[in-house]
Amino acid sequence: MSKVLRVIFLVGLVLAVALVAGCSSYRAPSGGGGQSGGGTSGGTSGGTTVTEQNFAFSPQTLQVKVGDTVTFKNDDSTAHHVVFQAGNDLGEQQPGQSVTYKAVARGSFPYKCSIHPSMTGTIVVK
């Protein structure tokens, strides 16, 4: 009897957690409207720094060489979390924090912010 109650309680708990998680991941930056493309049209550039600002990566496409270290700098007032399509997870960055990504192989490496999926970018390694 009490075992059954405990199972019911646990199921309820799991559902509540799932609900909360679902709600919080639903929240998206819907402000603005006409912000498609970002500041630098096209947005391909050299250098080794990607700035996270206004819920966008700048430049959106960064070209580097094998062996370069790319720095992602969070210049926003909210946390971002860079995750590469290939699996590299750079972790969550609080405002003002930087993380680095080492370009070890040639290719095109798309990534996005796992908190704000509309934030996407690509590192092109030559």
User: Which stretches of the chain bind Cu ion, using CB under 5 A?
Assistant: 80, 113, 115-116, 119
CB closer to Cu ion out of 57 and 68: 57
Q: Assign residue 90 a region: left if phi > 0, alpha if psi is -120 to 50, beta otherwise?
A: alpha
- Give dist(CA 96, CA 110) in Å, integer: 23
Which residue is closest to Cu ion by CB? 113
CB closer to Cu ion out of 73 and 80: 80
Taking the complex as a whole, the smallest distance from the CB of residue 49 to Cu ion amounts, in Å, to 17
- Give dist(CA 61, CA 47) in Å, integer: 11
Taking the complex as a whole, the smallest distance from the CB of residue 30 to Cu ion amounts, in Å, to 14
